[in-house]
Amino acid sequence: MSTGKKVAVVILSWNGIKFLEQFLPSVVKYTSTDLCEIIVADNISSDGSVEFVRKNYPQISIIQNQRNGGYAGGYNDALKNVTAQYYVLLNQDVEVTPNWVETVIDMMESDDKIAAAQPKLRAYNDREFFEYAGASGGYVDRFGYPFCRGRLFDTVEKDEGQYDDVKEIFWATGACLFIRSDIYWKAGGLDEDFFAHQEEIDMCWRIKNMGYKIICAPASIIYHVGGGSLPQGNARKTYLNFRNNLMMMFKNLPLAALMWKMPFRMILDGIAAIYSVVKNKNLKDFGAILKAHYSFYMSLPQLIKKRQAIPHPSSLHLSEINLLVQYFGKGKRKFSELDV
């Protein structure tokens, strides 16, 4: 599908008719038709999503995927059929605001080394606060734990303009990911074995290893519901987050760092599993973490092949902080308190 537009805003949908009904109006209202083509890519929904879009938004293009490949596979399948200079991967549960696209694209146009970017994310249901999935830009600590400007673990800050500067970051959120289309494919696209969760961090790491920059442009603001497919506390979500984080580290760390960081991370995951039982009385999370590790070990032959196919410069790009120590040991709850 050649859009004829510079930007393709692609909304991946799976049984999300309630979100499309609620959030497509803002996307249509605030997305420039001169600059952008809006596309809904559907992962074989069974709730009438496609029919709803076709009937109510004839100006929106539709791509019907032939499988439900999750977030990663769904976007890879859809974007193979989209021709544009920039892709915007937009979640179905996002409300956008005026100039949300132009603000980010103008920033990316100013520097051809900027490969990917994100706006500032606020919580749709608590609009003065940052949103968990991306806040004002993402980072990863020395042992692979993702965090954001505005969110450390489950602690989310109120947005008081403290992170309104344009900033180079480690990863841009998959809830609203702007990316140059040629770089998307040069980096190999999203890793479909992740299915969902942290696949955008994995791809951003590969992009950083290729020598490109990723930024947050906080003058662009969106509101994200979050947890639309798998809510917090879901054992499936725990499994995917732990498994995918291990796969991401194994694929992208330089060899010297891999040799000591991975064993240490295994110990930390073991502690997390025990904590889930002793402190939280949560056997489901305990089982999900064990399952995640088993799945990781079983996938090692494929991961070794993937690792061999991507560059591993000596620069880690990771933050050198230990987030566990900073958060649980020193009680730091704000990004601004960290030495990043």
Indicate if 248 and 216 belong to the same structural domain.
no
Neighbours of 32 (CB within 10 A): 15
Q: State which of 183, 202, 224 marks the end of a domain.
A: 224
User: Average pLDDT for residues 279-303, to the nearest whole number?
Assistant: 90
Q: What is residue 227's predicted lDDT score, i.e. its pLDDT?
A: 64
Helix (H) or strand (E) holding 36, with range, is: strand 36-42
Indicate if 70 and 25 belong to the same structural domain.
yes
Indicate if 188 and 294 belong to the same structural domain.
no
Question: Which residues are paired to 123 by β-bridges?
Answer: 126, 224
Q: What is residue 230's predicted lDDT score, i.e. its pLDDT?
A: 47
Indicate if 12 and 107 belong to the same structural domain.
yes
Reference 184, options 63, 84, 100; nearest CA is 84
Q: What is residue 285's predicted lDDT score, i.e. its pLDDT?
A: 87
**Could you tell me the maximum CA-CA distance found in the chain, to the nearest angstrom?**
57
Indicate if 296 and 196 belong to the same structural domain.
no
Let me know if residue 86 belongs to a domain.
Answer: yes
Range of weakest confidence among 37-46, 238-247, 308-317? 308-317
User: Average pLDDT for residues 198-223, to the nearest whole number?
Assistant: 96
Q: At what angle do helices 255-278 and 235-252 cross, to 10 degrees?
A: 160
Cβ contacts of residue 203 below 8 Å, gap of 6+? 184, 187, 188, 189, 190, 191
Kindly report the average pLDDT of the chain as a whole number. Answer: 93
Three-state SS annotation for 190-251: CCHHHCCCCHHHHHHHHHHHCCCEEEEEEEEEEEECCCCCCCCCCHHHHHHHHHHHHHHHHH
Indicate if 188 and 168 belong to the same structural domain.
yes
Question: Which residues are paired to 62 by β-bridges?
Answer: 40
The count of domains in the chain is: 2
Please give the residue range of the domain that contains residue 142: 7-224
Question: Which residues are paired to 147 by β-bridges?
Answer: 139
Q: What is the pLDDT of residues 3-39, one digit of tens each?
A: 679 999 999 999 999 999 999 999 999 999 999 999 9
CATH of the domain at 142: 3.90.550.10
Share of the chain above pLDDT 70, in %: 96
Per-residue pLDDT at 305 exceeds 50: yes
Q: How confident is the model at residue 104 (pLDDT cuts 50, 70, 90)?
A: very high
Let me know if residue 144 belongs to a domain.
Answer: yes
232: tokens are: 């917090």
Let me know if residue 230 belongs to a domain.
Answer: no
Indicate if 306 and 282 belong to the same structural domain.
yes
Indicate if 74 and 204 belong to the same structural domain.
yes
Share of the chain above pLDDT 90, in %: 85
